[in-house]
Structure 1
Amino acid sequence: MDALDRLAEPGLDLLARVDTLLAAGAPEGHRLWPLLRRMQVLPGAAVREFLDLHPAPLTGAGHAVRRLVRGYDDTCALLGDTIAWSGAAASAYDEARATLLRHLDEGPESLVGRLESTASYADALAGWVEGSRVALARALAEVLGSSEAVAVHAATRPGVHAGPAGASAAAEIATRILGVLGVAYDGAETLLRQWGPSLAETVWRDRPAVAPHYGGTTRIGY
Structure 2
Amino acid sequence: MDALDRLAEPGLELLRRVDHLLAAGAPEGHRLWPLLRRMQVLPGDALRAFLDLHPAPLTTAGHAVRRLVRGYDDACAALTDPGLWSGPAAAAYDEARAALLRHLDEGPESLVGRIESTAGYADALAHWVEGSRLAVARVLAEVLGSTEAVRVLAATAPGGDSASGTGAAAEIATRVLAVLGVAYDGAETLLRQWSPSLAESTWRASTGGPVRYDSTTRVGR
Q: TM-score interval w.r.t. the shorter chain?
A: over 0.9
| Structure 1 position 213, deviation (Å) | 1.9
Distance 1:78 1:41 in 2: 55
% identical equivalent positions = 77
Q: What residue is the counterpart of 1:181 in the other structure?
A: 180
Distance 2:207 2:11 in 1: 63
Tell whether 2:183 aligns with 1:198: no
Q: What residue is the counterpart of 1:78 in the other structure?
A: 78
Residues 96 and 208 in structure 1, CA contact (< 8 A), matched pair in contact too: no
| Structure 1 position 170, deviation (Å) | 0.2
Distance 1:218 1:162 in 2: 91
Tell whether 2:54 aligns with 1:50: no
Deviations 1:162-192 (A, max 9, x none): 12x3000000000000000010011001100
> What TM-score, normalized by structure 1, do the two folds share?
0.97
| Structure 1 position 215, deviation (Å) | 4.3
Deviations 1:52-108 (A, max 9, x none): 000000000000000000000010011001311100000000000000000000000
Deviations 1:22-47 (A, max 9, x none): 00000000000000000000000000
Residues 110 and 202 in structure 1, CA contact (< 8 A), matched pair in contact too: yes
Distance 1:155 1:212 in 2: 84
| Structure 1 position 207, deviation (Å) | 2.9
Q: What residue is the counterpart of 2:21 in the other structure?
A: 21
Q: What residue is the counterpart of 1:12 in the other structure?
A: 12
Deviations 1:114-143 (A, max 9, x none): 000000000000000000000000000000
Secondary structure, counterpart of 1:98 in structure 2: helix
Secondary structure, counterpart of 1:168 in structure 2: helix
Residues 87 and 216 in structure 1, CA contact (< 8 A), matched pair in contact too: yes
Q: What residue is the counterpart of 2:211 in the other structure?
A: 212
> What TM-score, normalized by structure 2, do the two folds share?
0.98
Corresponding residue pairs, total: 221
| Structure 1 position 211, deviation (Å) | 1.8
Q: Structure 1: which 5+ residue stretches go unaligned?
A: none
Q: What residue is the counterpart of 1:151 in the other structure?
A: 151
| Structure 1 position 198, deviation (Å) | 0.3
Q: What residue is the counterpart of 1:104 in the other structure?
A: 104
Q: Structure 2: which 5+ residue stretches go unaligned?
A: none
Q: What residue is the counterpart of 1:162 in the other structure?
A: 162
| Structure 1 position 210, deviation (Å) | 1.1
Distance 1:143 1:196 in 2: 36
Give 2:145's aligned amino acid.
G
| Structure 1 position 48, deviation (Å) | 0.2
RMSD: 0.9
Distance 1:81 1:88 in 2: 17
Residues 7 and 140 in structure 1, CA contact (< 8 A), matched pair in contact too: yes
Q: What residue is the counterpart of 1:62 in the other structure?
A: 62
Secondary structure, counterpart of 1:41 in structure 2: coil
Residues 143 and 149 in structure 1, CA contact (< 8 A), matched pair in contact too: yes
